[in-house]
Structure 1
């Protein structure tokens, strides 16, 4: 990432406004992250991977105020048997959280894990550092350096229920930086659920190390009707015969940038990344995905659907990199948008870079309006225009939602999307 005259000043001002938490085993990784941040500088619009998205509100010293809205709907995932962990404006809420004991899992807070022999010592920041090549991700380096808290989750077996991390937003000027680190031993299984608006400005990193034969599932929902500005990063490394599946539902928010960086390093691994978003008005949503195949007979899927109206903007940047020797690779990528008016826009940059000769890789990107024939069919059978539009919208998003493996979680997401669409037309 090229440095400009303004970058050092911007970067130093942001660093000076933050304090590096505590002492102990994470200090070396944090100091290294600061060095890397200074070398690249914070992102600017002229940087290649930020040309569609203005990073200003994510990099300025003080966050833009974000109003806190009343939410009368039941919290997502509340009807499920899960272990709940709550953060309010980036601060752990022990009273609202469940006991952190769960068979087959060791769960701790980053802010309280101070043993020099801690299992996270050799992993914290490692996947984030790897993910800086070939594309610099300075907001992730800033996170590794200055994260105030997060969860350290070591999975040794098959968990009996999901871990649900809930984010709540109560301060109009909160600036939250959280870093989660998840390690799955060989054969382990874990599902992580995330939901809530988090904070006025939110910077989150999740590093996931998936051991041989292990399985990791993530389903997250990024708030509704909040003026959030968020940058999230997922860095994952997959061992042999392992599985990684991530789905994100986003509704509204002023600016959201979700980065997902995955390395398939073991043979026969599988990585699926999917997202569905519904944006209205002053909404900018950017999904940036980079998947590296560095092993034999691996599969990856990227499925992203965006519904945009009233001038909303959607961005998708997705890349599949197949390294030499990564034969039998199966890489699939699709990004599509449904534009409900002429003021909205969808900007896409799909990429393939292949150095092996026995592969099956494809990508596609389309943008269009509601199918008028389908709309006429529904209207001719007495379905009101608004309801018919919602039905076709849900049908359009279905391919992304189908990437969620658990049927009860798919139903939960579909129900919530239908409610959000109904509220919008109401």
Structure 2
């Protein structure tokens, strides 16, 4: 078999573009751009999402995205004679069920060269040209978010939105009852932990007396078009609020901070409190004492659990594979609380630009979307735990394993587990320590 270096970056790899993963979705350890676009838009409850393509494209996206999807199910007749009639038929039918329609182009109609925006010029639709060959999940996600932002009508007369940059900031960050509103960002429906993390983020905001504004991207279209200038994120890899606020001329007022791990939780709420308190004439003061107390208590619990494990066992040697933010978070937990060694870490998506430009990347997290490459690397490593997806679990079935990224098929996921926030950190440590103690022959 030929050596597979698709999307590999980092040490001892051969990237096709310096510092970036290849744009071609050649080894789909992670889904293609079409699926990313579907995930970004299908979480909007009053938006109907239509996959314009074959049944294979639809069922692939439907397997990965838990939200409702629709499809044109084009066959050879549409490929030969054109798909305009079929596309308009489905759009008219689905439009009866939703307030807004989005159409996602797939590989075959994209290669056919049909202009779906022109075909649907008489319909109020968001058209996203995201065929799988343009790249992986994240490329499609970002493209869909940009199209979503461009669809937002600008109405500076509405003081409940942040479109009026001359309005007092209190008008932008409070609802009609005077409650302070904060967006929850980074909610990706393909993430197996997105619901649990959303619940945890809402709980943390409520501890400070804050209300949830827009949830990106798991909300109504109306709510998303009226975001707050302030956000917290459950997964920074999939932040959208900055794109939306730039569209609405909010400029530098928006800031999205991470809730992954107790240190980030505390830092995020401290910075949020400072920004609200320091705002001129805002008269906003939030009490983060409960957050501070929970973070301190959680750090003690995690430290004690790590010490308890190390009294009985050697520090773990761990390989971590997820999206970049989750990979870094898991590495931090292993290194900081268990003195563990990260034998290899790689992300399904690209590291942030700051890391590629010489920023901090202490675990040398590169980008790999090839299972063959992961197997090749780990076959030469000595490790006693893998954190990743069911692909890694299938490749090394006798190794201790914790699921952290899509797909997770080796176990049931009936209740909403968080990864973000206080409860997310406790959940991940619980899974890691329990799995390690059960031994290398038994996965969780």
Q: TM-score, normalised by structure 2?
A: 0.26
More relative contact order, 1 or 2 (CA 8 Å, 6+ apart): 2
Which has the larger share of strand?
A: 1
Which has the larger share of helix?
A: 2
Q: TM-score, normalised by structure 1?
A: 0.27
